[in-house]
Structure 1
Amino acid sequence: MGSGISKASYTITVKTGDQKGSGTDVNVYIILHGKGVQTNECKLDNFFKNDFERGEVDRFSIDSEVNMSEVQRIELRRDNCGLYSNWYLDWIEVTNKKNSITFIFPAMKWIKANSRYFFNHHTCLPQDDLFLETRKLELQAMQAEYQLQVKTTPDMAGLPAQVKTLPEDEKFSFHYEANFALEGITLKAESFKLTLMNKCEWQDFEDVKTVYTKAFGVPESSKYFNDDAHFGRQRLSSLNSLLIELCTTIPQKFGVTEDMIKPFLEGKTMSQAMDGKKLFIVDLAILEGCPTKHDYLVMTCPLALFYFNDDKKLMPIAIQLFQQKGPTNPVFLPSDPEYTWMSAKMWYSLADSTYHQALTHLNYTHLMMEGISVATKRHLALPHPILKLLDPHFLYLMAIDSLALVALINDGGIIDTNSNAGIKGHFDIMRKSMLFWKLDLHGTLPEDLKSRGVLDPSILAGAYHMRDDALLLYDAIKTYVEKYVLLYYSTEGSLDADYELQNWGAELVKSRDDGGVGILGVPGNGKFKTTDQLVITLTAIIYTCSAGHAAANFPQYDEYGAPFNYPYYLSGVPPKDKSPVTKETILKTIPSRDKLLQIMTVTKVLSEKATKSLGDFEKQFIVDPKAVKVVEEFRQSLREVGKTIESRNKKRKYPYDWLLPKSIPNAISI
């Protein structure tokens, strides 16, 4: 498009962010740039109006000698005048009043005094950028601000790379509310304890229900007591639904025999059950040798065998609480004394909940994705299409992680004092997982399901709700990513020439010892040669930050609030033989009233959705008309997925709501 010399008027629409202190009283100046032309610098000011207030949209009119049919970029600066000088800018729109064409310039950043900021309307690869030198300088500034670091405390050595110092642009828009919520968790738990407790010890099984006040609500899992079918459903549609594997042979270390489990196989032999793809196993070997908070606390590392019966229920049929079989490590069975079997399930769940918090939740979503998000900001400039695609899925991720490190995951913090493993135990298994977790396997849902023998929908048909719903979302995200990527990489050689993207890929796979993110299993080992490799990588990231985290996070209160079904802390020792376990022993094993209240309080806070739903982006970086169309197609696809899941849930005896698109945030923001 060309430019003219006739006079023009422009409407400048400015959205100030809602961060704490983001409104400003400073003077703001703007220059519009077109092809080879620019306006004079204009002050944005409305007489008798307090402009740039927090969360507000302001409109200004400026006149110029230059009429641009296309505004390619804007140049912005502010001074340091006024009482309140900080300013967080969400976006600016420029409309040429003559042709009514609007150009959108996303910013999403703090505007500092006496610096010049350039925001491009165009989304473009670096090799096509008309303002390449400015782009390089801005990226250098980002690399100085966003630095990777493996935390250097002895406990955290070998863990994922994180941001060294939290940049201003990454802080919460509701920072003080979130800060209050997390830092006040202990105080809230104490107040609940004081108002609710008569005695810290439990009097009977019913006594536990007294903590389920209106403030908390009744956790779903607490509605079932010593229920084998519920225990089986937890493996398929709860917090750790990606552990179960099709069993094709019994491991040598597992002391289960044909005679032991014959009564639970509906007349089948073990071999027939395996051939019919009805036998399943979970092996939590990674917890072997896991440290505990105190020497008197125990951490199990169990194996469990499950049978999918003709009633389409997954039933536990054998549990061995430690890896090496022996006389003091028996295989527990549903035919054992009632509370002995219940105790075995509880000690299994202790290991499952520890794996969940350390790996499924903290490591595989929060920390792994944080390193990726830092590398993204370091290597992809603001006009880069892949930055615009990924950035909405990193919203508040660095902020929540930095807050968690001082409020939750610290020595003497909530996780440390309310779990058997403590932070040393959690960090121990996180370190182990870094040696094998791969983006193209564990981070890529269909490959993960395939590796465990459970991708085929005929296996666990009608029961594996998490798998069935998650695949719909994965496919919708992958289709969205494919369409979007092909908008920018359809030209021969464009992928190879995109040095920003290639530098990003290189940092993703670079060893953490050498300052990289150290992600295993990035396709092409970070050297993207095909769009398919890029699509797999981007889909894994977006899926993990949205649906993956939702499945691992939001059911937390419903599970952790039920100490008989999903304990995170257990006293005493696991059963070592088939002797009857008493009710009194069970009650002394579960967390005390005050510990349970702390666990309930933190999981209640973490289970609250506070940001927008998947596809409804807080950060509207995508403004290209063709790309906007792809986003709208994605939203329509998500609406269809939502209808399908709602239809499924009407037919399910136990509905699974956690992966309804409207329930899934865009990012890991809590």
Structure 2
Amino acid sequence: MSTYEIKVKTGDRLGAGTDAKVEIVLLDGSGRQTKPAYLDNWFRNDFEARQLDVFTIKDDTDIPDVTEIKIRRDQAGLFSDWYVEKIEVLNKRIGTASVFPILRWIRPDVDLYVGKFDTLLPQFDPRRDQRNAELELKKKLYEYEEKVSGLPVQVKKVPEDEEFSISAKWDLLKRKFSLLAGKSVEMIFGSGSWETLEDLTGVYSKTFGDPKEMENWKSDEHFGWQRLNSVNPNLIRLCTDIPSKFGVTDECIKECLDGLTLSEAMSKKRLFIVDLEILDGITCVEGYISPVPIALLFVNGTGKLMPVAIQLFQQKGPENPVFVPTDPPYTWLFAKMWYNVADANYHQALTHLGFTHLLMEGICVATNRCLSPSHPMFKLLAPHFLFIIAINSRGLNYLVSPGGWIDKTMAIGAVGILELTKKGADSWRMNIEGNYAEFLKSRGVYCNDGSILPTFYQRDDSMMLYGAIRDYVTKYVNLYYDTNDKIIHDVEIQTFGQELTKSKSDGGCGILGVPFENGKFSKADQLIEVFTSVIFSSSVLHAASNFPQYDAYGFPPNYPTKIRGVPPKNKNPLKEEDIVKSLIDKSTTLDAMVITRILSERSTNALGDFEVTYTYDPAAVKIVEEFRQNLKDISLKMLKEMKNWCKNMISLSGRNSKFHQYLTYN
């Protein structure tokens, strides 16, 4: 008799555990197989969620190398559904182990065959009927729906595969009340409006800590830094001409350009512009206004990006002046705050919600509909879609619903957010906006030597990560598609391309710029572009737009999401009390702080540190390990550069300065 040790890891899904009877058969691919054996440990509750169970079976058939298993369950017990992460089989006589990634719900009274490593293209799968039946079922579970007309497609109903295992962790209301509990925060804040800026700044040390952008929020240097390194660095572009609608002139900013004219500054690639024309016509919450601004920024002699002109609405005119740094200090500060209202609303609607949540959900649905769990490209993409469908479902219901957080805290509210998301998502192209290097080039800010925008640190860091992701994807794709024929004859990857590019009205995602030419993928470079775009958008771009939210929005004057009153129509001097009167009230400030603090928490692992392992094929595992090492090297390089920068800043500012204290604290 041969003895086999069977390790079964039940997955981390809501309702993953089972009380059903489970049997297993071991096969070697040449017709040899063991008899069906029930997996059951007496006096133990087997197959609970996230649990590893070990069984020993004996059989008179000796299979040195188990290449396939057959598993089956019945419907016994109150809870018979079962989600399995993986099964490992060890032949104890010779010590040979085989791993079988399952990563599926086991359907009742159906034989499921799973091969060793379970990674193969459809044309090489000996169980094609099983594979096709599984995909047909997934197409019923993952149906497209345009839930709001004009928005990217989403899943019609959240499948059980996508539900959170611990729902409370993702319940924004519960987390909000948990964050508030025991702090007596409402008593610290009180009610009504803020009386002074000091009144506002005093609450942070008693509650959630100082947002990092609170330190230097009034300065022009900080405003320029925000355009490059805060939550929304994707708008700034090289200025090559001054739009006729923009009233800026050489005369009005001559003191701000280091002695250059506008034309000379443009020729030296030191002038940059942001035009938020896309906000024109977007609905606002009653009683609030969102500007539709144009901002001009200049790289000074020390390499820092500085704002030199802000026009708050599109068409120049006597009641729409161009505000400049030489205006009365609080008037200029107020213009910057109003600009940030528009920038913040764009960020939430498009940079965050539209481009990293909703567009990626449509691609996630296409991946699940078209690619078998056995497909190597499914295993490449799946770790980056973790919880995206469930997060989007809850986020839209709680944050963007009528009367929700967006309505309460943002100038354009839920209606305007959805209008703006529709407007921008319709023009997103995978080969431009979805290709980070090309997106930078299209805006004239691509640079690998620091000669353009030398303080654009987020660009430089992101380009290193983009390169690491592209290298990882390239190796992974070429491992399985070493010839173009394998791509051309892969029916699943071709169906995936069709559904990505098919219009929403025809039942697809309607994504533009996918390199799916003449109705097919035909070479590896096309797949590399698609998968790099999806992984980079789902990880790096999402992290950059999501995790710094408390640091940006936690202190309302720094990055106001709405302002009371109307934007200034002249350059009359203002006072600090005018700024304070414009701020959102204490209750809304608290709500903005709490939600952005929750959203800024890292609830999933870092890039490359996958919560669920999909890849077991040894050649692919090696590529994943190389990717992780590359990310580690990049992280160490970033840390070294940051330490050097901090040392330089401390030496320039002096050890007793507030800036030194800030750097030391953070």
TM range (shorter): over 0.9
Partners of 1:511 and 1:484 lie apart in 2 by 29
Query: Equivalent residue for 1:666?
Result: none
The one of 261, 267, 292 aligned to 1:275: 267
Q: Does the 8 Å contact 2:484/2:524 carry over to 1?
A: no
Partners of 1:187 and 1:76 lie apart in 2 by 42
Q: Does the 8 Å contact 1:254/1:320 carry over to 2?
A: yes
Q: Which amino acid aligns with 2:626?
A: E
Query: Equivalent residue for 1:385?
Result: 376
Query: Equivalent residue for 1:62?
Result: 57
Query: Equivalent residue for 2:7?
Result: 13
Q: Which amino acid aligns with 1:542?
A: I
Query: Equivalent residue for 2:86?
Result: 91
Query: Equivalent residue for 1:3?
Result: none
Partners of 1:117 and 1:182 lie apart in 2 by 40
Q: Does the 8 Å contact 1:124/1:385 carry over to 2?
A: yes
Partners of 1:274 and 1:354 lie apart in 2 by 29
Q: Does the 8 Å contact 2:296/2:307 carry over to 1?
A: yes
Query: Equivalent residue for 1:342?
Result: 333
Q: Does the 8 Å contact 1:439/1:521 carry over to 2?
A: yes
Name the SS of the counterpart of 2:114 in structure 1. Answer: strand
Identify if the C-alpha distance between structure 1 residues 214 and 633 changes in structure 2 by more than 3 Å, giving closer, same or farther: farther
The one of 617, 624, 634 aligned to 1:624: 617
Query: Equivalent residue for 2:489?
Result: 497
Q: Does the 8 Å contact 2:271/2:299 carry over to 1?
A: yes
Compute the displacement of 1:186 (Å): 7.1
Partners of 2:394 and 2:205 lie apart in 1 by 28
Partners of 1:477 and 1:304 lie apart in 2 by 33
Q: Which amino acid aligns with 1:40?
A: K
Query: Equivalent residue for 1:53?
Result: 48
Deviates further, 261-270 or 519-528: 519-528
- Aligned ranges 1:26-425 → 2 under 5 Å: 26-35=20-29, 36-121=31-116, 122-151=118-147, 156-179=148-171, 181-183=172-174, 185=176, 194-294=186-286, 296-425=287-416
Identify if the C-alpha distance between structure 1 residues 439 and 596 changes in structure 2 by more than 3 Å, giving closer, same or farther: same
Query: Equivalent residue for 2:472?
Result: 480
Partners of 1:635 and 1:254 lie apart in 2 by 47
Query: Equivalent residue for 2:662?
Result: none
Identify if the C-alpha distance between structure 1 residues 366 and 322 changes in structure 2 by more than 3 Å, giving closer, same or farther: same
After superposition, the C-alpha distances for 1:489-542 in whole angstroms (9 at most, x for unaligned) are 113411100010010011001111111111111113562111111101100001
Calculate the TM-score normalised by the size of structure 2.
Answer: 0.93
Name the SS of the counterpart of 1:448 in structure 2. Answer: helix
Compute the displacement of 1:29 (Å): 1.6
Percent identity over the alignment is: 46
Q: Does the 8 Å contact 1:189/1:598 carry over to 2?
A: no
Query: Equivalent residue for 2:503?
Result: 511
Q: Does the 8 Å contact 2:193/2:584 carry over to 1?
A: no
Q: Does the 8 Å contact 2:484/2:523 carry over to 1?
A: no
Partners of 1:447 and 1:516 lie apart in 2 by 25
Q: Which amino acid aligns with 1:379?
A: C
Partners of 1:561 and 1:271 lie apart in 2 by 39
Compute the displacement of 1:22 (Å): 3.1
Q: Which amino acid aligns with 2:359?
A: M
Name the SS of the counterpart of 1:315 in structure 2. Answer: strand
Q: Which amino acid aligns with 1:81?
A: A
Compute the displacement of 1:120 (Å): 2.9
Partners of 1:84 and 1:566 lie apart in 2 by 50
Calculate the TM-score normalised by the size of structure 1.
Answer: 0.93
Q: Does the 8 Å contact 2:185/2:207 carry over to 1?
A: no
Partners of 1:491 and 1:272 lie apart in 2 by 52
Q: Does the 8 Å contact 1:318/1:334 carry over to 2?
A: yes
Compute the displacement of 1:261 (Å): 1.3
Query: Equivalent residue for 2:568?
Result: 575
Partners of 2:26 and 2:337 lie apart in 1 by 65
Q: Does the 8 Å contact 2:191/2:587 carry over to 1?
A: no
Partners of 1:302 and 1:118 lie apart in 2 by 60
Q: Which amino acid aligns with 1:334?
A: P
Compute the displacement of 1:461 (Å): 4.9
Compute the displacement of 1:655 (Å): 11
Name the SS of the counterpart of 1:95 in structure 2. Answer: strand
Deviates further, 410-419 or 60-69: 60-69
Compute the displacement of 1:23 (Å): 3.1
Partners of 1:443 and 1:654 lie apart in 2 by 36
Q: Does the 8 Å contact 1:193/1:593 carry over to 2?
A: no
After superposition, the C-alpha distances for 1:141-190 in whole angstroms (9 at most, x for unaligned) are 11111111100xxxx210000010001011112222212x4455379669
Identify if the C-alpha distance between structure 1 residues 328 and 502 changes in structure 2 by more than 3 Å, giving closer, same or farther: same
After superposition, the C-alpha distances for 1:242-293 in whole angstroms (9 at most, x for unaligned) are 2111111111111100111110011112222112111111111111111012
Root mean square deviation of aligned Cα: 2.0
Q: Does the 8 Å contact 1:477/1:542 carry over to 2?
A: yes
Deviates further, 135-144 or 518-527: 518-527
Partners of 2:142 and 2:306 lie apart in 1 by 48
- Aligned ranges 1:417-456 → 2 under 5 Å: 417-456=408-447
Partners of 2:401 and 2:115 lie apart in 1 by 42
Q: Which amino acid aligns with 1:331?
A: V
Compute the displacement of 1:548 (Å): 1.0
Q: Does the 8 Å contact 1:329/1:577 carry over to 2?
A: yes
**Runs (5+) with no aligned partner, structure 1:** 1-6, 657-670
Name the SS of the counterpart of 1:446 in structure 2. Answer: helix
Identify if the C-alpha distance between structure 1 residues 186 and 316 changes in structure 2 by more than 3 Å, giving closer, same or farther: farther
Compute the displacement of 1:67 (Å): 2.7
After superposition, the C-alpha distances for 1:333-392 in whole angstroms (9 at most, x for unaligned) are 011111111111011000000010000000000100000001000000011110010001
Partners of 2:124 and 2:28 lie apart in 1 by 16
Q: Does the 8 Å contact 2:175/2:598 carry over to 1?
A: no
1:459 aligns to 2:451 (yes or no) = yes
**Runs (5+) with no aligned partner, structure 2:** 650-666
Q: Which amino acid aligns with 2:140?
A: A
Name the SS of the counterpart of 2:252 in structure 1. Answer: helix
Q: What is the aligned residue count?
A: 644
Partners of 1:524 and 1:73 lie apart in 2 by 35
Q: Which amino acid aligns with 1:140?
A: E
Q: Which amino acid aligns with 1:132?
A: R
Q: Which amino acid aligns with 2:463?
A: L
Partners of 2:293 and 2:538 lie apart in 1 by 29
Q: Which amino acid aligns with 2:113?
A: F
Q: Which amino acid aligns with 2:272?
A: F
Partners of 2:207 and 2:366 lie apart in 1 by 40
Query: Equivalent residue for 1:633?
Result: 626
Partners of 1:50 and 1:107 lie apart in 2 by 21
Q: Which amino acid aligns with 2:3?
A: S
Name the SS of the counterpart of 1:11 in structure 2. Answer: strand
1:532 aligns to 2:525 (yes or no) = yes
Q: Which amino acid aligns with 2:506?
A: D
Name the SS of the counterpart of 2:309 in structure 1. Answer: strand
Deviates further, 642-651 or 10-19: 10-19
Compute the displacement of 1:54 (Å): 2.9
Q: Which amino acid aligns with 2:390?
A: A
Deviates further, 121-130 or 472-481: 121-130
1:613 aligns to 2:606 (yes or no) = yes
Deviates further, 93-102 or 403-412: 93-102
